[in-house]
């Protein structure tokens, strides 16, 4: 999402030969629950203003890091820093006021910040955070905001349940290839099936469809895949039409 927000301005930044750097701290989870569209809108507004008010060959930096973790709620802070013309104290007081814009002369020269900051401030508050600015005239600006997100809860696993609907099996995997993996899965299924017939045991096991994903479509090799218990194979690079057809074949509605 952050990359997509940045991509929209890449060409404009390149034209001004500005140095643009992103710094996403490893503490930021790869997956968070939240309004990605609105978050992208805020980042886009801040980057757009930084680009406008930073001269050619200037620098713009986007930073993101976690500031607090409370159970499954994560507070993340995002900053956009530039070394542009900066904003005076008086102008800073007007930035987030509806229908107010910064000084008219600067507004005309640099196409203005518009109402993007006002909208961004409104969205940030809706996301349980706040937005602020630190700036000095002639030395650049630092816009920062924080927002709360829900962390994806950890998956609850049960090694004995085998609750998978389908396996797309890569044939060429390191250490254990797809053929051996399939052989072991089928052996485990048979073991569970035998256990379910033991008095007092209620565990049952249904064969999981295993689809081979491979660039090797030689007939002899395909026969080997089927012989170890795979149900079908799909060529690689992936044929998405065939993939959808295969999914439909095994997941037909009752």
pLDDT at 159 over 80: no
Place of tokens 């930096």: 61
Q: CA–CA separation, 177 vs 219, rounded Å?
A: 19
| Widest distance between CA atoms in the chain | 86
Backbone phi, then psi, for 120, in 5-degree steps? -60, -45
Most confident of 152-156, 199-203, 232-236: 232-236
Q: How far is CA 108 from CA 99, 177, 227, in A?
A: 16, 63, 73
Q: What angle do CA 16, 21, 22 make, to 5 degrees?
A: 135
104 pLDDT exceeds 80? no
What proportion of the chain, given as a percentage, has pLDDT over 70? 82
Residue 52, CB-side half-sphere exposure with 13 Å CA sphere: 17
> In angstroms, rounded to a whole number, what is the distance separating the alpha carbons of residues 147 and 124?
6
Q: Provide the CATH number for the domain formed by 167-250 in this structure.
A: 3.40.50.2300
| Position with higher pLDDT, 217 vs 210 | 210
Q: Which CATH class is domain 2-151?
A: alpha beta
Can you give the residue ranges of every domain in the chain? Answer: 2-151, 167-250
pTM exceeding 0.85: no
The angle formed by the CA atoms of residues 122, 124 and 130, to the nearest 5 degrees, is 105
* Cα separation, 193 vs 40, whole angstroms: 49
The arithmetic mean of pLDDT across residues 115-129, rounded, is: 86
């Amino acid at each position: 999402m952050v990359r997509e927000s940045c991509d929209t301005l890449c060409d404009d930044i390149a034209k001004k030969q500005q140095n643009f750097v992103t710094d996403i701290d490893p503490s930021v989870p790869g997956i968070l629950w939240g309004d990605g569209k609105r978050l992208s809108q805020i980042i886009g507004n801040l980057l757009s203003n930084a680009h406008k008010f930073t001269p050619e060959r200037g620098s713009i930096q986007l930073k993101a890091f976690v500031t607090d973790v409370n159970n499954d709620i994560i507070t993340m802070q995002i900053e956009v820093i530039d070394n542009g013309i900066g904003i005076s104290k008086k102008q800073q007081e007007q930035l987030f006021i509806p229908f107010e814009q910064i000084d008219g002369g600067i507004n005309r020269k640099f196409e203005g910040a518009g109402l993007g900051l006002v909208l961004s401030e409104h969205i940030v508050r809706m996301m349980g955070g706040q937005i602020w600015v630190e700036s000095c005239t002639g030395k650049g600006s630092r816009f920062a905001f924080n927002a709360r997100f829900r962390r994806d809860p950890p998956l609850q696993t049960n090694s004995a349940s085998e609750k998978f609907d389908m396996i797309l099996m890569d044939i060429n995997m390191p250490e254990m290839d797809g053929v051996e993996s399939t052989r072991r899965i089928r052996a485990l299924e048979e073991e569970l099936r035998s256990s379910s017939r033991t008095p007092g045991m209620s565990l049952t096991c249904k064969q999981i469809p295993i689809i081979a994903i491979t660039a090797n479509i030689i007939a002899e090799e395909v026969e080997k895949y089927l012989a170890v218990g795979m149900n079908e194979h799909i060529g690689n690079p992936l044929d998405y039409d065939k993939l959808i057809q295969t999914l439909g074949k095994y997941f037909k509605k009752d």
